[in-house]
């Protein structure tokens, strides 16, 4: 991979990581604000977001060092970007699982403290009632 392709790969990779990081941050912030008061949710989401960025940017740096030789520089770039996208998808999923876990733990703490009441019916409380249908009776 020549210097131009390498620079292009790093530029595109960093941009994709930063965009995905902002999506995670903003989505996670809205998700955590439901269980954290004031700016606590923002602080937690910033920590999770920094962890995401450092991990994925580190993976990007390592992927950039892998030598791919398909015979065409454009294909080399596409292969490396494909690997980056796969790693990014896994990191995105893991990060969202972490955010869900944080929210669930905080929600359980609040329920135990009595500061909130569990909303919605539980599986045991949910029921289906039959509806009389007179269309087929003569």
What confidence tens digit (pLDDT) does each residue in 12-29 have? 999 999 999 999 999 999
The string of pLDDT tens digits covering residues 85-112 is: 999 999 999 999 999 999 999 888 888 8
Give the pTM: 0.75
Residue 84: burial class (beta carbons within 10 Å; 0-12, 13-18, 19+): buried
Domain tally for the chain? 1
Specify if 122 maps to a domain: no
Residue 98: burial class (beta carbons within 10 Å; 0-12, 13-18, 19+): middle
Cα end-to-end span (Å), the chain: 79
Per the structure, the complete domain to which residue 38 belongs is given by 3-113
């Amino acid at each position: 991979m020549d210097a131009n392709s390498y620079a292009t790969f790093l530029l595109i990779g960093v941009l994709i990581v930063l965009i995905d990081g902002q999506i995670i941050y903003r989505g996670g912030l809205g998700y955590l604000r439901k269980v954290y008061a004031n700016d606590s949710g923002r602080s937690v989401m910033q920590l999770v977001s920094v962890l995401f960025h450092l991990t994925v940017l580190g993976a990007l740096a390592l992927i950039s060092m892998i030598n791919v030789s398909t015979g065409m520089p454009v294909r080399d770039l596409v292969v490396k970007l494909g690997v980056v996208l796969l790693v990014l998808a896994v990191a995105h999923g893991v990060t969202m699982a972490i955010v869900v876990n944080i929210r669930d733990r905080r929600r359980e703490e609040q329920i135990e403290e009595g500061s909130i009441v569990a909303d919605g019916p539980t599986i045991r409380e949910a029921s289906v009632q039959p509806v009389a249908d007179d269309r087929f009776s003569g």
